[in-house]
Amino acid sequence: MGIFSSIKNAIFGQAKAAPASAEAGEAAAATPVTPVTEKKAEAAAPAAEAKSANTGGAAASAVDVAAILDAAVKASGQKLDWKHSIVDLMKALKLDSSLGARKELAAELGYTGDTSDSATMNVWLHKQVIRKLSENGGKVPADLLD
């Protein structure tokens, strides 16, 4: 798995985990468990999975990248500026933000510039990651898109 995939999975995975567990908790609380309801639940499970698979694109388009990253920054307890820094974005997601990792991400995303000029590379990386998150169904602030 590439570094961008790790970034995407960290963001989109968090978005899927919260609603799914909340829905499951609400459904469990609302339905008493009896042998009849267990059989109904077993019968309904494949249909629910198919529905989730079919609406995956719709669910992904609702992923609020800014909200997830803001929450990740808050949880980190650090002052991170994910809106302007690829290093801070990666730190917020608890990913390796070392120069080596960023060079690997640059190669993965097709950076053709000089990786020794880390400042220029970092600006390019941030723009590319934000753009790719948007292309993959993430809702990102318009001011971060070129």
The DSSP-derived string for 48-85 is: HHHHHHHTHHHHHHTEEHHHHHHHHHHHHTS---TTT-
**12-44: per-residue pLDDT in tens?**
987 666 554 444 444 444 444 444 444 444 444
Least confident window among 45-49, 65-69, 119-123, 130-134: 45-49
Question: For the chain, first and last CA: distance in Å?
Answer: 27
Q: Report, as an integer, the average pLDDT of 46-71.
A: 62
**8-state DSSP, 86:** H
The model scores a pTM over 0.85: no
Which of the two residues, 140 and 50, has the higher pLDDT score? 140
**What are the residue boundaries of the structural domains of the chain, listed by start?**
1-140
Q: Report, as an integer, the average pLDDT of 85-90.
A: 98
Which of the two residues, 6 and 43, has the higher pLDDT score? 6
In angstroms and rounded to an integer, the radius of gyration of the C-alpha atoms of the chain is 19
Q: What token pair was written down for 54?
A: 């079919």
φ and ψ of 64, to 5 deg: -85, 95
Q: Say if residue 52's pLDDT is above 70.
A: no
